[in-house]
Chain A
Amino acid sequence: MSIDKTSTPPEESAVVNTEAAAGAATAVDPRLLVREQGFAGYVTEFKRKMKAGDLGSIPVVVGLAIIWIIFQSLNSNFLTAGNLSDISVAMVGTGMIAVGIVFVLLLGEIDLSVGSVSGVAGATFAVLNITHGMNEVLALVLAILTGTAAGAIHGFVFARIGVPAFAVTLAGLLFWQGFMLQILGSNGTINLDSEGIVAKLTSYYFSDVAAAYGLAVVAVAGYFLTSFLGNRRREAAGIPSRPLSDLVLRTVLLAVVSFAVAIVYNQHKGLPLAVVIFLAVLVFTDFVLRRTAYGRKVFALGGSVEASRRAGINVELVRISVFAIAGTFAAIGGLFVASKIASANQGAGTGEFLMNVIAAAVIGGTSLFGGRGRTWNALLGVLVIVSIQYGLALEGIAAPVQYMITGGVLLATVIIDAVTRKTQKTAGRA
């Protein structure tokens, strides 16, 4: 790149440029340079964000706390290690699919087919592995690739032919549901091998206490080291960096949460394999979205399609790939769902399941309008949804009431989203 040339402009303009640079350095709005003011700057920045309606994950975390407190007061079994561990395993299936939905929502599009595609993946695995006796790893890979292919087809019809994503994936919802029923055949239900790889996805626990604590240590140390080294590079490059106090505060916060979770797991059966896989997926997808050129393209498309096109981004390719990613995660989630019930049945991925997935992504804080959100949002959202399901089930409250309550929570979330967006607009931050 050639910006470095700017430091050696033609002779006659050099003086002007130095003056100009000095002028720029003094003209910075002090309110927004929080990083340079040290820790106090962050406190002011936080207050300003609250006023401007930039709430981030705070409403979801507060909401989750309220939900947990209510259910705990109704039934003292709710906040037990066993129940919390079960919730975290049960959420992985829905959560995986919600990760894919976050990608699609970032484009400002929607994928209604993920529920059906997840059912197809479970059925594909069961038919190949159980009915036809195929090697289970091969069957697993083929099941996931079925999801990728289904997503890629939706993406192709949307991006190349120009059919609205809503319509394409609505057709996909029906088609893949029919496809699943077709391959399941007349039996309707195929039970999985309880010792097989897919069944193990949700039934395996690392029972050694060292596993959960070890993972917590690795997570905290990893977070601190990457942030610290990143900070050092920023300092070396002479650009603003976080104060050390901020870094320590964040690390301590993460450590408290990680070790609390580890303690809870170790009081029950240990660290669940499903949760480890889910966390790995979240770390990886978050890295892809926020730290790679591909992720930048996804955000850019969510911001302005025209700007992306002019910047030389292959709009069609990114769109198709995002739908393929959504299909892939739908299939992975479908396998976790099948694993939890140890069978592939005709009801997989139907009914309210799709709505729960989309609700999870949205409740977590991913914008429906594109360009805003993180895959970690899926974790928070799905925790809310599954906590409600488990809490109500503990109380013996029937499904109709569950639907109404989940609906109410979703509505509350989008209202918060809409209101904060309005505040953000008036504060010039939308």
Chain B
Amino acid sequence: MVHVSATPVLALRGVSKRFGAVQALTDVELEVHAGEVVALVGDNGAGKSTLVKTIAGVHPIDEGVIEWEGKAVQVNKPNDAQNLGIATVYQDLALCDNIDVVGNLFLGREIRRRGALDEVEMERRSRELLDTLSIRIPSVRIPIASLSGGQRQVVAIARSMLGEPKLVILDEPTAALGVEQTAQVLDLVERLRERGHAVILISHNMADVKAVADKVAVLRLGRNNGVFEVESTSQEEIISAITGATDNAVTRRAARTNGESKK
């Protein structure tokens, strides 16, 4: 692991979010440092997606503070998040099937030369970007439709890297992928960490989480249910924190550490 800086890139302090009568998030705390992969796990309805959307500016928070590199910031619109340097790769990939890889990477931020598209420069930069991330796709000039699910996923992630974000949020990047494709995406996540990006990874797959994450933040019913160091925690402990099935040492400890961090 790369050294972790003292000030987190992103910190959530006591974030709450309510939709009408539903309390989706209650006093959630989360810290992500540069060069760190934080897995965000929890059962369905635990508030993972809501939490991600508050960070991405889709749902503004009701209470609490979002700190960006130590300073409190307002994130009310997706643009605010993008301007800070937060890139979000949603579960449905948001790529255009009929356009080639280069076109998709630069969609909405095309490089122009004398008013026309500069295809040469875009292709050069695409190859450079894909090489740096060691992304393996057959050619940058084939339509997205010709790529496998895993290849599409890495293109979508590469696309988010064009803006050189400090924090990348991946929403279930391996959910629909096969074994090898999952490995490709996990490789890519590791490379993002090596390059000093902070990564929030949402996943249901414990094997993936164990493979790439440094820390695991568990959400349960819209509240923190513990933050674990991956290396020193067993899969069972994480799972019981997710399900809240047993009142055991892990949950008690989680509650205790939670309480301390609030003071």
Query: Which residues of A line the B interface, CB within 8 A?
Result: 1-3, 5-7, 9-10, 12-13, 16-17, 20-21, 23-25, 27-29, 31-33, 230, 233-234, 237-239, 287, 291-293, 296, 299-300, 302-304, 306-308, 310-313, 370-372, 428-430
Shortest Cβ distance from residue A78 to the other chain B in the assembled complex, whole angstroms: 38
Closest partner residue, chain A, to B196 (CB atom): A10
**CB-CB nearest 6 A-B residue pairs:** A303-B96, A311-B108, A20-B134, A371-B98, A29-B138, A2-B164
Query: Which residues of B line the A interface, CB within 8 A?
Result: 2, 35, 90, 92-99, 103, 107-112, 115-117, 119-121, 123-125, 127-136, 138-139, 142-143, 145-146, 161-164, 191, 194-196
Bound: A303/B196 CA distance, A: 34
Is A371's CB under 8 angstroms from B97's CB? yes
Is B139's CB under 8 angstroms from A28's CB? yes
Is B120's CB under 8 angstroms from A430's CB? no
Bound: A33/B116 CA distance, A: 26
Is B107's CB under 8 angstroms from A296's CB? yes
Shortest Cβ distance from residue A190 to the other chain B in the assembled complex, whole angstroms: 41
Is B112's CB under 8 angstroms from A299's CB? no
Bound: A214/B22 CA distance, A: 74
Is B125's CB under 8 angstroms from A1's CB? yes
Is B138's CB under 8 angstroms from A17's CB? no
A32 partner residues in chain B, CB cutoff 8 A: 138-139, 142
Is B99's CB under 8 angstroms from A303's CB? yes
A313 partner residues in chain B, CB cutoff 8 A: 107-108
Is A20's CB under 8 angstroms from B132's CB? yes
Bound: A9/B103 CA distance, A: 25
- Neighbour of B107 across the interface among A31, A233, A287, A308, CB < 8 A: A308
Is B131's CB under 8 angstroms from A24's CB? yes
Shortest Cβ distance from residue B128 to the other chain A in the assembled complex, whole angstroms: 6
Query: DSSP class of A's interface residues: helix, strand, loop or mixed?
Result: helix
Is B96's CB under 8 angstroms from A307's CB? yes
With contacts A291-B116, A312-B108 known, what are 20 further pairs, Cβ within 8 A?
Answer: A2-B164, A5-B164, A6-B128, A7-B128, A9-B194, A12-B194, A13-B2, A16-B191, A28-B138, A29-B138, A233-B120, A292-B117, A293-B112, A296-B99, A299-B98, A299-B103, A303-B98, A303-B99, A307-B93, A370-B98
Is A308's CB under 8 angstroms from B96's CB? yes
Query: DSSP class of B's interface residues: helix, strand, loop or mixed?
Result: loop
- Neighbour of A238 across the interface among B124, B129, B163, CB < 8 A: B124
Shortest Cβ distance from residue B129 to the other chain A in the assembled complex, whole angstroms: 5
**Quick one: given A9-B195, A32-B139, A430-B145, are A304 and B96 in contact (CB under 8 Å)?**
yes
B135 partner residues in chain A, CB cutoff 8 A: 24
Shortest Cβ distance from residue B140 to the other chain A in the assembled complex, whole angstroms: 9
A370 partner residues in chain B, CB cutoff 8 A: 98
Bound: A303/B194 CA distance, A: 34
Is B120's CB under 8 angstroms from A234's CB? yes
A312 partner residues in chain B, CB cutoff 8 A: 108-109
B161 partner residues in chain A, CB cutoff 8 A: 3
Shortest Cβ distance from residue A144 to the other chain B in the assembled complex, whole angstroms: 23
**Quick one: given A9-B196, A287-B116, A307-B96, are A1 and B111 in contact (CB under 8 Å)?**
yes
Bound: A306/B93 CA distance, A: 10
B163 partner residues in chain A, CB cutoff 8 A: 2
Shortest Cβ distance from residue A61 to the other chain B in the assembled complex, whole angstroms: 23
Is B131's CB under 8 angstroms from A21's CB? yes
Is B195's CB under 8 angstroms from A296's CB? no
Shortest Cβ distance from residue A416 to the other chain B in the assembled complex, whole angstroms: 19
Is B164's CB under 8 angstroms from A304's CB? no
Shortest Cβ distance from residue B212 to the other chain A in the assembled complex, whole angstroms: 15
Closest partner residue, chain B, to A233 (CB atom): B120
Is B138's CB under 8 angstroms from A6's CB? no
Is A10's CB under 8 angstroms from B132's CB? no
A7 partner residues in chain B, CB cutoff 8 A: 128, 132
Bound: A199/B30 CA distance, A: 74
Bound: A293/B107 CA distance, A: 9
A33 partner residues in chain B, CB cutoff 8 A: 138-139
Is B139's CB under 8 angstroms from A296's CB? no
- Neighbour of B132 across the interface among A21, A311, A430, CB < 8 A: A21
Is A300's CB under 8 angstroms from B96's CB? yes
A303 partner residues in chain B, CB cutoff 8 A: 96-99
Is A31's CB under 8 angstroms from B116's CB? no
Shortest Cβ distance from residue B149 to the other chain A in the assembled complex, whole angstroms: 12
**Quick one: given A291-B117, A292-B115, A307-B95, are A16 and B194 in contact (CB under 8 Å)?**
yes
